[in-house]
Amino acid sequence: MDKRIKRALLTAAPALCTACSPALKDASERPNIIFFLIDDFGWTDSQVAYGEEVYPYNLRYDTPNMLRLAGKGAIMTNAYACSLSSPTRTALMTGMNSAHERITTYGALVRDTPTDAAGGTTGIINDNLDDPFARSDWNWNGLNPGDTLIDHSLQATPLARLLKDSGYFTIHVGKAHWAPAGTPGASPYNMGFTVNVAGSNAGYPRSYLSEENYGNTKELWQGNAVMNLTEYYGGDVHLTEALTREALKTLDYPIAHKEPFYLYMSHYGTHTPIQPDKRFYQKYRDRGMDDGQAKYASMCEGIDKSLGDIMDYLEKKGVADNTVIIFYADNGGHSIDTRKGGIAHTQCLPLREGKASVYEGGIREPLLVYWPGKTVGGTRLNTPVGPEDFFPTILDIAGVEDYETIQKVDGQSFANLLSKGSEYVAEQIGTVEGGASQKEANRFVIPENVSGLDPLRPIVSHMPHQWRIEDQPDIDFMDAVRVGKWKLIYRMHNVLEMKGKGLEEAIRNSVFELYDLEEDISESKDLAPAMPEKAGELARILGERLRSWNAAMPVIRSEGRTVPYPDELL
């Protein structure tokens, strides 16, 4: 292991709150917040090693600024997202579990167009009548922040609106993707953002290249051309860089007016298309990567550069000490796209599968939080958190209280985990060199009376869809729940194989799989046959959660009824 990396990860000197000046504390009551979100960026796509060891995969791409941030803030070792973009992005805005939102796969460009491949009577595209399942009754018109009811949409009070109403200068830069065109949710302004650059209904950029005008070219328009960046057309500026420059411009006003800002820096990168960031491409070819790998690597380093440029800018402007940075990704790395080079289903190793799957490769995420004066640099926090937890956490950090929402928020704030938890970890196992190993630190449990969060809180993932036209056996129609180190997978298709009911029959048909994530991060050894009781316990927890949210399930075509919640099989 590279000593420099290890030091950055584990040895940052504690900046305990006893060292904070009262002035900083006062100013911190309304800190600026930057939510730095990446797309399709895998858990092992950075030099920050979230796992129990530094895997070779952590050393593929140079990400010095992610290391820099990890040295300043907390490293969340069990952070989750949904397995796809829109569910995570809407959960961030609503504080709801995506199963509760009924926004459980990616949104379309255009209204009234379900994107999932198993079709029912409402399906317009991608209907697959050969599939035994018909489409679930999900909200394919996405998140609706407006007053008008829209069929198959979720009406909710968005996070940005609450922040704006509380006085924050709210800025959206990059990818939005909460709702299709023709609905209010397509516009960041309706979500409560005062400034918007490049955000719309689009879920990916038609092009990352200014040489191609970011997709605004004189060919067939495909709805994913990136807006607001005409000044770079015909130039030589990668989209990641252009969005970064635009983001820094937007900070002029709040900094000059000493008003707190919330910057949702939502990069289109590193989603497909895989197009090189020329500043970094050749280096990776020289290291022996194939063309696709080197292109993807260059995009990752471009994102890292963006993070670093923003951190530099905050320091230059004198606001770094009052600016929280949250670094997160919206779902796991893409593991079946050939444009990334390499070998399919290996992209997220050691995690199994990738984007769209509820195996760890699809949902386990990098998460760093730097909260000046609160987080202790380089501490590792193992309490699991999910996408719905950011909503109350960010409002906590912003000091917004007594807010009202249309929706019932499912998430819990992890603000105390970040402050008290981080301090507790620093005290108990230290962060200096020679302290706890990465493995020990990752297994160190932070008690609920410190963090305010039950370490055994279930993390639920719900994917009641066929993702693509081609069947993806380890992706389509699967749910998961994690409780502590245990994880249950629910394979809905296999329910059709069951002859009768009962836990044993379900396990015999691989309806349930059980994994021990501490011993088997790759989910390779199904323990359900050996530990049916544990599997049943998690199936009950998962079923109760889904039922309480009235989660949408696919319809079994031959029977005209929905797939049962997992506890109904017991």
> Residue 47 CA to chain centroid, in angstroms?
18
Q: Which token pair is 472?
A: 């993806």
Tally the C-alpha atoms within 13 A of residue 34's C-alpha that lie toward its C-beta. Answer: 29
Residues 6+ apart with CB under 8 A from 270: 38, 39, 40, 41, 45, 296, 299, 300, 303
Type of residue found at 32: N
The whole-angstrom separation of Cα 488 and Cα 514 is 5
| Binding test (CB under 8 A) with a copy of itself, winner from 30, 89, 100, 111 | 111
Note whether 63 binds a copy of itself by CB under 8 A.
Answer: no
| Binding test (CB under 8 A) with a copy of itself, winner from 63, 85, 200, 293 | 200
- Find the shortest distance in angstroms from Cβ 317 to a copy of itself: 15
Backbone angles phi, psi at 3, to 5 degrees: -60, -35
Q: Which of residues 165-184 bind a copy of itself (CB under 8 A)?
A: 167, 169, 181-184
| Binding test (CB under 8 A) with a copy of itself, winner from 3, 121, 148, 219 | 219
Binding mask 253-292 for a copy of itself (x = CB under 8 A): x--xx-x---------------------------------
- SS3 state of residue 434: coil
Q: Which token pair is 18?
A: 């006893």
State the number of binding residues for a copy of itself (CB under 8 A): 47
Type of residue found at 81: A
Dihedral angle at the C-alpha atoms of 394, 400, 403, 405, nearest 10 degrees?
A: -20
Q: Measuring CA to CA, how many Å separate 81 from each of 113, 244, 251, 412?
A: 24, 24, 28, 14
Q: Which is nearer to a copy of itself, 257 or 499 (CB)?
A: 257
Note whether 221 binds a copy of itself by CB under 8 A.
Answer: yes
Backbone angles phi, psi at 75, to 5 degrees: -105, 115
Q: Which is nearer to a copy of itself, 211 or 321 (CB)?
A: 211
- Find the shortest distance in angstroms from Cβ 15 to a copy of itself: 32
Binding mask 492-511 for a copy of itself (x = CB under 8 A): --------------------
**Given the rule CB under 8 A, which of 130-138, 210-218, 365-373, 393-401 is the region that contacts a copy of itself?**
210-218
Q: Of 155, 151, 134, 152, give the one whose Cα is nearest residue 143.
A: 155
**Given the rule CB under 8 A, which of 49-57, 62-70, 249-257, 297-305 is the region that contacts a copy of itself?**
249-257
Q: Which token pair is 149?
A: 């009811």
| Binding test (CB under 8 A) with a copy of itself, winner from 223, 308, 341, 452 | 223
Q: Which is nearer to a copy of itself, 220 or 343 (CB)?
A: 220
- Find the shortest distance in angstroms from Cβ 224 to a copy of itself: 11
- Using alpha carbons only, give the angle 362, 406, 87 rounded to the nearest 5 degrees: 15
**Distance between first and last Cα of the chain:** 46
DSSP code per residue over 240-303: HHHHHHHHHHHTHHHHHTT--EEEEEE--TTSSS----TTTHHHHHHTT--HHHHHHHHHHHHH
Note whether 194 binds a copy of itself by CB under 8 A.
Answer: yes
Q: Measuring CA to CA, how many Å separate 55 from each of 1, 31, 69, 304?
A: 9, 35, 20, 19
Q: Which is nearer to a copy of itself, 216 or 510 (CB)?
A: 216
Q: Of 155, 125, 123, 126, give the one whose Cα is nearest residue 137.
A: 123
Note whether 246 binds a copy of itself by CB under 8 A.
Answer: yes
Q: Which is nearer to a copy of itself, 66 or 242 (CB)?
A: 242
Note whether 23 binds a copy of itself by CB under 8 A.
Answer: no
Note whether 234 binds a copy of itself by CB under 8 A.
Answer: yes
What one-character DSSP code corresponds to residue 96? S
- Find the shortest distance in angstroms from Cβ 498 to a copy of itself: 44
- Find the shortest distance in angstroms from Cβ 256 to a copy of itself: 8
**Given the rule CB under 8 A, which of 54-62, 66-74, 218-226, 444-452 is the region that contacts a copy of itself?**
218-226
Note whether 252 binds a copy of itself by CB under 8 A.
Answer: yes
**Given the rule CB under 8 A, which of 79-87, 187-195, 343-351, 409-417 is the region that contacts a copy of itself?**
187-195
- Find the shortest distance in angstroms from Cβ 109 to a copy of itself: 9
Binding mask 147-166 for a copy of itself (x = CB under 8 A): -----------------x--
Note whether 144 binds a copy of itself by CB under 8 A.
Answer: no
| Binding test (CB under 8 A) with a copy of itself, winner from 88, 139, 196, 451 | 196
The whole-angstrom separation of Cα 227 and Cα 195 is 14
**Given the rule CB under 8 A, which of 4-12, 246-254, 267-275, 318-326 is the region that contacts a copy of itself?**
246-254
Q: Of 355, 365, 413, 515, give the one whose Cα is nearest residue 46.
A: 365
- Give residues in contact with a copy of itself (CB under 8 A): 110-111, 164, 167, 169, 181-187, 189-190, 194-197, 200-201, 213, 216-223, 225, 227-235, 246, 249-250, 252-253, 256-257, 259
